[in-house]
Chain A
Amino acid sequence: MKYIYSIIKADYLQRTRSYVFLITMAITIYAAYSFVPPPSAHYTTLNIVGFKGVYNSAWVGHLSAMMTTVMLSLYGFFLVTGGIKKDVDTEVGLIIATTPISNFGYLLSKMLSNFLVLLTIAGTTFVVSLAMFFLRSSGYPFVISNFIVPFLLLALPALLFISAIAVVGEVFLGKRAILQYIGFVFLFGAIMGHTKGETNDTIAVVTDPFGLRTMTMSIQNQVNNEFHTHVDGVSMGFTFHKKDNAFRTFTWNGITWTPVFMFSRLLWIILAFSLVYISSFFFHRFDFKQIAHKKKKATQYADNIPVITPAITAISMAALPAIIKNYSIVPLIKTELMLLIRKGSKWLWLLNAGLCVSMLFAPLNISHTYLLPVLWFLQVTRLSELATKEKTNRLHYFTWSSYKPLQRMLPAQILAGVTLMVTLALPLIIRYLLVLNGFAIVNILLGAVFIVLLAVCMGIVSGGKKLYEIVFFLITYLVTQKLPLVDYLGAIAHNSQILYTVLILNIALCCISFWARNYQARHL
């Protein structure tokens, strides 16, 4: 047990002592603030057409817990996945592999440290929800159980399940981060779809890891009974309304926790532990078949080359051809592009190609709203290391001591990223060209620049890839949910305001990136 405790502690401290975590916490506090809109707000996070709950303890506590559960489950996966990979990269895994800790013990400690990280964030949203209730005092009595119980019953089992899924994903998909991301997005979508679509209430409650169905059904039943109406669905997500839209309010006093619901929560906790236990039988314990394969490959190379003295021979500097100065950034762009293209599995390019072809034939709005954001998101692991890979690969000594790195290296990285994104968007751009829609093309181009600059800026500022990967995922998810606020590529029909906003954001991101990189490059 002491091994497990030590690993959990070390892992937790390692993750939380990072800028990424701090920034994530800051974003979480803002998100938590917006989870339960004040009565006067023109948006809702729980959409019951024409209705809104009054701002009492039950409404604030439950809604906050529900939003935390779903949103944190969604982006929390991206935050916590990679714990095992870190041990592989740092070679700490090799030390762990030689200790008496069992595979299950190790994976369990990883799951629990994942859980602790998520719990820390959930705890923050809990505190913010309490603060919001008092700050937006609406005269209703404060009932602490209406805050604590939903967090315990909704958030905790769900976050434990997500923590387990992150571990299982790493065990089975190893270093293929993008496959883990795709797999998780599909799983999450399937769970949400099933929760909403299942007609048998008992099955829906039991098979819902987030516990949403119980809450939405409770609210829906109350609205239908109180107003004698036929609201047939309560959906989650940020929904904006026009200012003159009036809501009818109702007083909701929380959920009656049924035995079936309690059983389902226990079931998901057991399932989380079971998944980790089963995956421990397949855990590599840092003994990679891939390495053996690589070595085999290297041996094959070695077989083909003549036997040579493996040492340095004489180098006559005078005999070398004279050097010719060339400060063009084109060779740098070429190499950056080459690195972007070579990153990740080759077969993923088939998926990229498939989506590109689909964009040629799918309806324009589908291509722009769904296919292009998804296609761009598939490049997340490429973009996230655009400005971080020098440091990750310890090559920054060379790049930062090179001639004018800020004026040459950083622009080359940005241009390479934009080139890749625009190339992928070409099918859609061509279609818009054919229908003479220049506005949409400008939106796409600005969007490509934005998503690349965001990668560069977040990479430089946070020093890692995680923050960008989480933010890019959330943006993509919200774009496909048609949230106008995050429509960086002009996928949703609206005025030109978003275009100017993206343009200003691009300039701001560019300035921050150059300023921060300038500082870093001289303060190693």
Chain B
Amino acid sequence: MALVITNLTKQYNKHKTGLADYSITINKGILGLLGPNGAGKSTLMKIIATISKPTQGTVFLDGEDIVANPGRIRKVLGYLPQDFGVYPNLNAYEFLTYIAALKGLGGNDLRKRIDMLLEGVNLTADAKRPIGTYSGGMKQRIGIAQALLNDPKILIFDEPTVGLDPEERVRFRQLVSDLADDCIIILSSHIVSDIETIADEVAIMQNGRLLAKAIQPDIIKSVEGRVFETLIDSSHLPDFKTKHLVIDTNRQKDKTRVRYITTTPLAGSTALTATLEDAYLFLTHSNA
């Protein structure tokens, strides 16, 4: 199974471009999408989910054009949008039954499937309460359950860990990893660690363009040998920032420990092992 995206452009209006001549091929496994706000991640996901039409370009799923024939992907799609909502007057059972009907699912075992999914996202005890009374994390879990209802082969998760507490995030990552053997999973997040721990491949986007797409070690290679740490006077920090790409700072009394990327490190700096976050920030800043 492969999703082939070629020369995709989404022009919202004269001044706003969602995607610009974007091409990518996505195979089975987890693709992590990284990019600053406005990079085009959600636009790309909406086009793949067939709720937004590209201005130009094609999206093929196993050789079939899903822009022209959206029904093809919709049958195997699980989609968790970034800012989805629910009908507050329905309870979890009713809501999932409704979504199942939308996805064209039925049969005697549907109830059992819903039960098991609710159990999986730990909402069985609250399943008969109106969803309007749920917390943000519980709503997010209902969103995850609905995405899995139809045994999807393509899963799109747009900022899925928003609202989840740390333990839930760990569990969610585990769940996604388990699903990856049999599906294409596209996952976007602002939290680089979420992507870092589970993504097989990473795509970094900016201003509607693809900056890099590769397995994590290859992306990290771009900053290897350039990441350093040093201790400077806090008063020098603003000046330091103008000369180097600062990744992280840690204030210690009147000194600040700085993690930075450079080709000309300060004397006394310690070389550090590069991470995906370093590579992401390096790529997005050097292409800004």
Q: Which residues of A contact B (CB under 8 A)?
A: 294, 297-298, 301, 305-306, 308-317, 319-329, 331-332, 335, 338-339, 342-343, 389, 393-405, 408-409, 521-524
Contact A395 B94 (CB under 8 A): no
In the assembled complex, B90 has its CB within 8 A of some CB on chain A? yes
Most buried by B among A294, A309, A400, A405: A400
The reply to whether A324 and B52 contact each other, CB–CB distance below 8 Å, is: no
Contacts of A329 in B (CB 8 A): 101
Is B117 an interface position by the 8 A CB rule? yes
Report whether A339 and B51 are in contact in the complex, using a CB–CB cutoff of 8 Å: no
Cross-chain contact of B51 among A309, A317, A389, A521 (Cβ < 8 A): A521
A397/B49 in contact, CB under 8 A: yes
Find chain B residues with CB under 8 A from A523 CB.
52-53
**Contact across chains for B141 and A335 when beta carbons are under 8 A apart:** no
A398 to B175, CA, bound (A): 21
- The residues of B that contact A305 with a CB separation of less than 8 Å are 125-126
Please pick, from A320, A401, A403, the residue contacting B113 in the complex, using a CB distance under 8 A: A320
CB pair B133–A301 under 8 Å, yes or no, is: yes
By a CB distance below 8 angstroms, the chain A residues around B171 are 311-313
Contact (Cβ within 8 A) A301 B129: yes
B182 touches A317 (CB 8 A): yes
Mark interface residues in B74-114 (1 if CB within 8 Å of A CB, else 0): 11010101011111111000100111111111111110110
Q: Which of B28-36, B143-151, B186-194, B243-251 contacts A (4 or more CB under 8 A)?
A: B143-151
Q: Which residues of B contact A301 (CB under 8 A)?
A: 126, 129, 133
Q: A308-B122, A312-B168, A335-B98 in contact; A401/B109 too (CB < 8 A)?
A: no
In the complex, what distance in Å separates the CA atom of A328 from the CA atom of B97? 13
| 8 pairs of A and B residues whose beta carbons are closest in the complex | A326-B106, A324-B107, A394-B85, A315-B120, A321-B109, A331-B101, A402-B102, A312-B171
Chain B residue at minimal CB-CB distance from A336: B98
**Considering the chains assembled together, what is the distance between the CA atoms of A409 and B141 in angstroms?**
24
Residue B225 at the A interface, CB < 8 A? no
Can you name 24 A-B pairs with beta carbons within 8 Å? Answer: A298-B129, A311-B167, A312-B121, A312-B122, A312-B141, A312-B175, A313-B120, A315-B116, A315-B178, A317-B179, A317-B182, A319-B116, A320-B116, A324-B106, A325-B106, A328-B101, A335-B97, A395-B84, A395-B85, A397-B51, A401-B74, A403-B74, A404-B74, A522-B51
- If A393-B85, A397-B51, A404-B71 touch, does A326 touch B105 (CB 8 Å cutoff)? yes
Q: Which residue of chain A is the closest to B149 with respect to CB atoms? A: A323
Contact B133 A331 (CB under 8 A): no
Residue of A nearest to B74 (CB): A403
Are A323 and B84 CB-contacts (below 8 A) given A314-B174, A397-B51?
A: no
Measured CB to CB, the nearest residue on chain B to A331 is: B101
Q: Which of B53, B90, B102 contacts A339 (CB 8 A)?
A: B90
Residue of A nearest to B73 (CB): A401
Chain B residues positioned under 8 Å from A400 (CB to CB): 51
How far is A45 from B257 in the complex, measured between Cα atoms in Å?
Answer: 81
Q: A314-B120, A323-B113, A401-B51 are in contact. Are A328 and B106 (CB under 8 A)?
A: yes
B58 within 8 Å of A by Cβ? no
CB distance from B150 to the nearest CB of A (A): 6
Q: Please tell me which one of the listed residues B105, B172, B175 contacts residue A325 in the complex, with CB atoms under 8 A apart.
A: B105
B213 in contact (CB, < 8 A) = no
Q: Which residues of B contact A394 (CB under 8 A)?
A: 81, 83-85
B116 contacts which chain A residues (CB < 8 A)?
Answer: 315, 319-321
A523 to B67, CA, bound (A): 12
Residues of A within 8 A of B86 (CB): 393, 395
B52 to A310, Cβ gap below 8 A?
A: no
> Is the CB of B217 closer than 8 A to any CB of chain A?
no
Residues of A within 8 A of B146 (CB): 398
Q: With contacts A314-B178, A321-B112 known, what are 10 further pairs, Cβ within 8 A?
A: A310-B165, A317-B151, A323-B113, A324-B106, A393-B87, A395-B87, A398-B79, A398-B102, A404-B71, A408-B102
- Which residues from chain B contact A409 at a C-beta distance below 8 Å? 102
A180 to B252, CA, bound (A): 60
Contact of A321 among B113, B165, B179 (CB under 8 A): B113
A342 to B121, CA, bound (A): 27
Partner of A331, one of B106, B112, B174, B175: B106
On whether the beta carbons of B53 and A522 are closer than 8 Å, the reply is yes
Which chain B residues lie closer than 8 Å to A298 at the CB level? Answer: 129, 133
B85 to chain A, nearest CB (A): 3
Residues on B with C-beta less than 8 A from A524 are: 46, 51-52
Q: Nearest Cβ in chain B — how far from A518, in angstroms?
A: 11
- The yes or no answer to B119 lying at the interface (CB within 8 A) is yes
* Shortest Cβ distance from residue B116 to the other chain A in the assembled complex, whole angstroms: 6
A335-B97, A393-B87, A397-B84 as given contacts; A312 in contact with B133, CB under 8 Å: no
Please name all residues of chain B whose beta carbon is closer than 8 Å to the beta carbon of A322 when the two chains form the complex: 109
Which interface residue of B70, B104, B108, B148 has the most chain A CB atoms within 10 A? B104
Residues of B within 8 A of A395 (CB): 84-87
Among B89, B104, B167, contact of A403 (Cβ-Cβ < 8 Å): B104
* CB neighbours of B120 from chain A (8 A): 312-315
- Asked whether A320 and B144 contact (CB < 8 A) given A312-B175, A339-B90, the answer is no
> Chain B residues near A405 (CB, 8 Å)?
102
- The CA-CA distance from A398 to B110 in the complex, in Å, is 18
Q: Note all chain A residues with C-beta closer than 8 A to B77.
A: 401
| Chain A residue with Cβ nearest B101 | A331
Residues of the B chain whose Cβ atoms lie less than 8 Å from the Cβ of A328: 101, 106
Bound-state CA distance A480–B100 (Å) is 43
Instruction: Select the residue from A294, A315, A399 with max chain B CB neighbours within 10 A.
Output: A315
Which residue of chain B lies nearest to A407 when distances are taken between CB atoms in the complex? B71
Taking the closest CB of chain B, its distance from the CB of A319, in whole angstroms, is 7
In the complex formed, the residue of B with least CB distance to A404 is B71
Q: Are B133 and A308 in contact (CB under 8 A)?
A: no
B104 to chain A minimum Cβ distance, whole angstroms, is: 4
- Among B94, B101, B119, the most chain A Cβ lie within 10 Å of the Cβ of B101
Residue of A nearest to B81 (CB): A397
The reply to whether B105 and A323 form a contact with Cβ atoms under 8 Å apart is: yes
CB-CB under 8 A from B94, the residues of chain A are 335, 338
Closest to A305 in B: B125
Smallest CB gap from A318: residue in B? B182
Bound Cα distance A509, B125 (Å):
44
Which chain B positions have C-beta within 8 A of A319? Answer: 116
Q: A187: shortest Cβ distance to chain B, in Å?
A: 30
